[in-house]
Amino acid sequence: MPNLKDLKNRIGSVKNTRKITKAMQMVAAAKLRRAQDAAEASRPYTERFNAVMAGLAASVGSSDSAPKLLSGTGSDQVQLLVVMTSERGLCGGFNSSIVKTARSKAQELVAQGKTVKILTVGKKGREQLKRDLGDLFIGHVDLAEVKSVGYVNAQDIARDLLNRFDAGEFDVATIFYSRFQSVISQIPTVQQVIPASFEAEEDAGETTLYDYEPDEEAILADLLPRGVATQIFAALLENGASEQGARMSAMDNATRNAGEMIDKLTIEYNRSRQAVITNELIEIISGAEAL
Distance, CA of 186 to CA of 101 (rounded, Å): 13
CB 60, CB 289: distance < 8 Å:
no
Distance, CA of 169 to CA of 79 (rounded, Å): 9
CB 198, CB 231: distance < 8 Å:
no
How far is CA 178 from each of CA 77, 85, 284, rounded to the nearest angstrom? 26, 8, 66
Catalytic residue among 39, 91, 99, 235: 91
CB 114, CB 152: distance < 8 Å:
no
Q: Reply yes or no on whether 258 is catalytic.
A: no
Where do runs of H (alpha helix) occur along 112-215? 123-133, 151-166
- At 266, the amino acid letter reads T
Distance, CA of 288 to CA of 282 (rounded, Å): 10
Specify which residues 180 forms β-bridges with. Answer: 186
CB 157, CB 121: distance < 8 Å:
yes
Between CA 47 and CA 52, with CA 51 as vertex, the angle to 5 degrees is 120
Question: Helices (H), strands (E): how many in the chain?
Answer: 6, 5
Which sequence positions are flagged as catalytic?
91
